[in-house]
């Protein structure tokens, strides 16, 4: 390999090209806005929107996003993401590592229900736009999930008979729809799903936080995958706060249950190592 | 081990006790506030403060925190945290895993300078409270760092001669100090450090984003370790936005440099495996 | 909630029950084997097998697993998993955090091809057992992948015309099949896939490391998901070695390209922040 | 920025240079050894040594490394690293993400004691080489730790009165020292520490797994930081096996304690959100 050999500078710089942020000595622009003008002028939530979408939100859209981000910050230390971060905080790693350990658990099952609910709502919207009756489409979707033995993502909660975050979030969406800030289409479809799930049952299966935030994010035009991304930003707050609480407590190498309790053992009894 | 044996329920529940969030069927309270009342009423930044500190911020404190969180969201794809998240996004993991991979890199060197600057400012404040002259203390601190061959954390930037985020952040702190929202003590101490660093030099070593946000967080009463935590929350926004941009680009298994370029090799020449 | 209230100790202990390891004061048994008898008597690879499968491997099975684990340890610093770990090592986190950052990237695309190839081989085996001609089944599988615009996992390499790890691994499997250590079924099916992929093409699409290790792991009876798990154990070696090399180099906050090069920017030109 | 502008190819390739692995189309060499010759000829443990150290181990050194790697693979599901990985496995992330989540917790406190013990042993060796009496140096080190209220890393166990892994590991080191494979210096120093810790106490504070593996790794010439790295490789086996066991169990979003138990809450009582 010859040191004389050259390559186009653009090849390397293009490999890491981005439409997000332009950096030059003494200059930082986010989506074209000089950072020194953003500081103090743009809210944190507006800046989140700006980075993810490329433009600022229209006035009252921002308040809806703010409400959804606020609603999901925490659900207590029994959530595995939170518990993992708390345990990490007792193991001598940085708070950044503790937060990463928690966020890493917000996968298809723990944090992905919102994303899946958004995909379902988008699918229902496509069927509606194709002329299908929304109530009929919702009933069909519920039937399909039940036939496959799967939960309808975003509905029902293993702990809360009715998730206390549902009503205020849906109420804000309804207000925004009345004011013309959002269309209300996804809200209506989610309510069709709720009706279809409740039909013929004694106990309804109301929307949970994943479903309610899915409605917000769909109404605001976020793609489903960013539903998970926004949940990550929101829950990171709780993850950090719990890790910090644990750090202040000073425990070391804290396991899931108190030390004197032992994990039950279900494997083979003691035996001799075979000669190899 | 007998199945009949019982333990105090409190022992298990207390092991995971928290002062952050109370959960009961149908109820979620954050620091005592019912979540349904927070949604729509509390801003995201206020909720961050509430979870980390236990109470809401006093009026204009919140604006300072908002400015600092906004200022740090991104610094382009060459930051290793961002690059790692972008590469992760091309490897078939969830956005949560991509964000975690990026956040995991915000350690003592990449994200920890803010925390270290806060520790330094707190140390100077203690010396000032003990009667020492702040300018003298700052000069001594600079001399100590130089003697040890260490950077003064929060000052100077390898890329920006003057970090464009410095002036607007310090300006907001100065305004808040004038209005009595914060004391201005840490701002003054940081400026003493800046003066001590510039003394006898042609090129000053101005505060960078780590230093400017350290001033904000110290003035607002956050402990140093939370300086890193707040940076994690802020930079998570850029990490997510970059991972999402890469996901949309559709690249697969994207390495640091274009594929046809090869890493230089500096190890031994080809050799035969010895018989063992 | 009364502190007097008690719960069955078994409920808590059972929640964390395991068949892997029994711990008591002064005692550690892995799958029933006292650890003090394993040390010095069991090889590391045998212990990996023991923990994952519950029993020790039969004699020469172990050598096949050893070969596959050895084959995958590294593929240079341009692999995103390795690059992420190297960058992490320059950011002031522990080697454990650097390794985790790298391993976290071994997802469906970067590390999952082996798992997917194992799933394909198992599907072909099921069709063969159901009476289908293996060559016919392989051709159908290739056609299905091509029709869907998908790669056949485990075949072809974007860099190596012929992966140098293919022949020695398949050679060892063929030897083991002749000796009756394994059945050779999956080897034969993978070769059918290779033939089907080459048919009518000038350049064949030979098995790559993911395909060759998939054959080994299938022949040894590992379920597909553990194919990814074993790759994680193997590649962790390279991840650690690269992170360590970078640590020794002493770079700080190393990004993907040298500092003076800038990421290309494709977003909007500079603009003023709108009044909100 | 002009697309015509070129840079030296070496600048980019050198940025990612490595002494570990050379890659060219159809060629992979690890430390100069063609991978096709390593497969089947080099053991997994020898390959670990090769990548980390640059050369193969001398004959019986390898057996000592193998014993230490085997000894540390698991210590049950109550270790936070293992618990975090098990919880991750129930959250819908890949096994690679589950392993990364566990490994990420092996920090200064949970996995770092071995590294710290190696640093202490190296410090004692330096004092011995400088002419100090080893027993005296060990007593001084113990006194320093006690005065600072710190544990001597690598000694004592909160669960095992005597760690069952201590004797077999130290026995193998003693044998290797007699055979001239290692010097025995660090073993002797660690035993001095053990004596100094036991002096005047009813209950001794014997070496634990961190201490015993620290002796092995020091005797084999590994630097302290790689002590943590080797522990990561070893414990990754248990982390993977536990994550896999949990995956097979099929639990979803498994928290640290059974669902019906609630975390104890110690924060403020319910209160109204203040008007802002």
In whole angstroms, give the CA distance from residue D224 to residue C93.
15
- Residues in chain A with pLDDT values less than 70: 1-4, 276
Q: What is the pLDDT of residues B44-84, one digit of tens each?
A: 999 999 999 999 999 899 999 999 999 999 999 999 999 99
pLDDT at A4 (0 to 100): 63
Give the pLDDT band of residue C111 (cuts 50, 70, 90). Answer: confident
**Chain B residues touching C12 at Cβ < 8 A:** 7, 12
What domains sit in chain B, N to C, each tagged with a CATH number? 1-41 (no CATH), 57-254 (1.10.230.10)
Average pLDDT over residues C35-46: 97
Predicted confidence (pLDDT) at residue C2 exceeds the cutoff of 80: no
Please indicate whether, in this complex, the C-beta atoms of A8 and D3 are within 8 angstroms of each other.
yes
Average pLDDT over residues D118-143: 97
pLDDT at A89 (0 to 100): 98
Closest CA to D153 of D188, D184, D187, D110: D110
Enumerate the β-bridge partners of residue A27. A24
Q: Are B31 and D267 in contact (CB under 8 A)?
A: yes
In whole angstroms, give the CA distance from residue B42 to residue B56.
9
Phi-psi region of C33 (alpha: psi -120 to 50; beta: other; left: phi over 0): beta
Average model confidence (pLDDT) across chain C: 95
pLDDT at D3 (0 to 100): 44
SS3 sequence of chain B: CCCCCEEEHHHHHHHCCECCEEEECCEEEECCEEHHHHCCCCCHHHHHHHHHHCCCCCCCHHHHHHHHHHHCCCCCCCCHHHHHHHHHHCCCCCHHHHHHHHHCCCCCCCCHHHHHHHHHHHHHHHHHHCCCCHHHHHHHHHHHHHHCCCCCCCECCCCCCCCCCHHHHHHHHHHHHHCCCCCCHHHHHHHHHHHHHHCCCCCCCCECHHHHHHHHHHHCCCCHHHHHHHHHHHHHHHHHHHHHHHHHHCCCCCCCCCCCCCCCECCCCCCCCCCC
**Chain C residues touching B8 at Cβ < 8 A:** 3-6
Token pair 């001669």 is at which residue?
Answer: B161
Token reading at B92: 């078939």
Q: How far is A181 from chain B (nearest CA, A)?
A: 15
Predicted confidence (pLDDT) at residue B1 exceeds the cutoff of 60: no
pLDDT at D4 (0 to 100): 63
In whole angstroms, give the CA distance from residue A244 to residue A255.
17
Q: Are A164 and B28 in contact (CB under 8 A)?
A: yes
Predicted confidence (pLDDT) at residue B276 exceeds the cutoff of 80: no
Q: What percent of chain C has pLDDT over 70?
A: 98
pLDDT at D59 (0 to 100): 80
Helix or strand run (H / E) with residue A233: helix A224-249
Please indicate whether, in this complex, the C-beta atoms of A39 and B165 are within 8 angstroms of each other.
yes
Flag whether residue A275 sits within 8 Å of chain D, measured between CB atoms: no
Q: Are C169 and C212 in contact (CB under 8 A)?
A: yes
pLDDT at D87 (0 to 100): 98
DSSP secondary structure letters along C46-89: HHHHHHHHSSPPPTTHHHHHHHHHHHTS---TTSHHHHHHHHHH
Average pLDDT over residues D9-18: 92
Residues 35-74 of C with CB under 8 A from B: none
pLDDT at A1 (0 to 100): 41
Give the relative orientation of helices C209-219 and C224-249 as an angle to the nearest 10 degrees.
130
Predicted confidence (pLDDT) at residue D206 exceeds the cutoff of 70: yes
Average pLDDT over residues D213-221: 98
In whole angstroms, give the CA distance from residue D93 to residue D97.
6
Flag whether residue D21 sits within 8 Å of chain C, measured between CB atoms: yes
Query: Which one has a higher pLDDT value, B110 or B83?
Result: B83
pLDDT at D259 (0 to 100): 82
Give the pLDDT band of residue B181 (cuts 50, 70, 90). Answer: very high
How many angstroms from the chain centroid is the CA of residue D117?
Answer: 11
pLDDT at C195 (0 to 100): 97
Q: How far is C137 from chain A (nearest CA, A)?
A: 28
Give the relative orientation of helices A61-71 and A224-249 as an angle to the nearest 10 degrees.
50
Phi-psi region of D80 (alpha: psi -120 to 50; beta: other; left: phi over 0): alpha
Which site among D70, D71, D78, D90 would you substitute to test the C interface, given the most C Cβ atoms closer than 10 Å to its Cβ?
A: D70
**Chain A residues touching D97 at Cβ < 8 A:** 104, 107
pLDDT at C3 (0 to 100): 44
Predicted confidence (pLDDT) at residue D274 exceeds the cutoff of 70: yes
Token reading at A58: 């229209």
DSSP 8-state symbol, A54 = S
Closest CA to B17 of B26, B25, B9: B9
Contacts of D127 (CB under 8 A, 6+ apart): D134, D137
Which site among A44, A97, A265, A270 would you substitute to test the C interface, given the most C Cβ atoms closer than 10 Å to its Cβ?
A: A265
Token reading at D69: 């790697």
Q: What is the pLDDT of residues C188-200, one digit of tens each?
A: 999 999 999 999 8
A29 to chain C: nearest residue by CA?
C270
In whole angstroms, give the CA distance from residue A80 to residue D207.
33
pLDDT at B111 (0 to 100): 83
In whole angstroms, give the CA distance from residue B157 to residue B165.
12
* CB nearest to D3's CB, from A10, A88, A101: A10
Closest CA to B84 of B61, B111, B51, B66: B111
| Number of neighbours of residue C14 by Cβ within 10 angstroms | 14
Find the range with the poorest average confidence among B111-120, B257-266, D143-152.
B257-266
Give the pLDDT band of residue D217 (cuts 50, 70, 90). Answer: very high
What is the layout of strands, in order, in the sheet containing A21-24?
A21-24, A27-30, A33-34
**Four-CA torsion A117, A118, A122, A124, nearest 10 degrees:** 20
Flag whether residue D108 sits within 8 Å of chain C, measured between CB atoms: yes
Please indicate whether, in this complex, the C-beta atoms of B81 and C90 are within 8 angstroms of each other.
no
| Number of neighbours of residue A35 by Cβ within 10 angstroms | 26
Closest CA to C89 of C239, C246, C241, C238: C246
Average pLDDT over residues D57-77: 96
Q: What percent of chain C has pLDDT over 90?
A: 89
Flag whether residue D29 sits within 8 Å of chain B, measured between CB atoms: yes
b/e C61-82 (16+ beta carbons within 10 angstroms → b) = bbbbbbbbbbbbbbbbbbbbbb
Q: What is the pLDDT of residues A167-188, one digit of tens each?
A: 999 999 999 999 999 999 999 9
Predicted confidence (pLDDT) at residue B199 exceeds the cutoff of 80: yes
Phi, psi of B251, deg, nearest 5: -65, 150
Please indicate whether, in this complex, the C-beta atoms of C261 and D101 are within 8 angstroms of each other.
no
B30 to chain A: nearest residue by CA?
A74
Whether the complex's predicted ipTM is more than 0.95 is answered with yes
pLDDT at A252 (0 to 100): 93
Give the helix, strand, coil percentages of chain C, each rounded to 5.
55, 5, 40
pLDDT at A111 (0 to 100): 83
Q: What is the pLDDT of residues C55-85, one digit of tens each?
A: 999 989 999 999 999 999 999 999 999 999 9
Question: Coil, strand, or helix at residue A207?
Answer: strand
Give the pLDDT band of residue B158 (cuts 50, 70, 90). Answer: confident
Please indicate whether, in this complex, the C-beta atoms of A262 and C42 are within 8 angstroms of each other.
no
pLDDT at B3 (0 to 100): 43
Average model confidence (pLDDT) across chain B: 95
DSSP secondary structure letters along D164-207: TTHHHHHHHHHHHHHTTSS--HHHHHHHHHHHHHHTT-SS---B
Average model confidence (pLDDT) across chain D: 95
């Amino acid at each position: 390999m010859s040191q004389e050999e050259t390559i186009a500078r653009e090849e390397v710089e293009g490999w890491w090209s981005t439409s997000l942020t332009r950096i030059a000595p003494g200059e930082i622009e986010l989506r074209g806005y000089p950072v020194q003008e953003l500081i103090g002028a743009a809210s944190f939530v507006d800046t989140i929107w700006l980075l993810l979408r490329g433009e600022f939100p229209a006035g009252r859209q921002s308040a809806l996003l703010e409400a959804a981000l606020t609603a999901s910050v925490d659900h207590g230390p029994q959530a595995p993401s939170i518990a993992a971060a708390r345990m990490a905080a007792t193991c001598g790693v940085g708070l950044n590592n503790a937060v990463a350990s928690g966020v890493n658990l917000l996968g298809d099952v723990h944090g992905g229900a919102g994303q899946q609910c958004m995909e379902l709502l988008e699918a229902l919207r496509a069927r509606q736009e194709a002329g299908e009756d929304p109530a009929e489409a919702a009933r069909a979707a519920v039937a399909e999930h039940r036939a496959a033995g799967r939960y309808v993502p975003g509905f029902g909660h293993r702990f809360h008979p009715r998730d206390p975050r549902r009503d205020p979030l849906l109420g804000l969406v309804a207000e925004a729809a009345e004011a013309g800030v959002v269309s209300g289409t996804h809200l209506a479809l989610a309510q069709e799903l709720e009706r279809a799930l409740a039909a013929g049952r004694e106990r309804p299966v109301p929307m949970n936080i994943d479903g309610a935030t899915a409605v917000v994010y769909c109404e605001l035009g976020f793609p489903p995958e960013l539903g998970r991304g926004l949940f990550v930003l929101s829950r990171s707050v709780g993850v950090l706060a719990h890790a910090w609480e644990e750090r202040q407590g000073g425990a070391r190498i804290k396991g899931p249950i108190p030390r004197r309790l032992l994990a039950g053992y279900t494997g083979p009894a003691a035996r001799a190592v075979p000669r190899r």
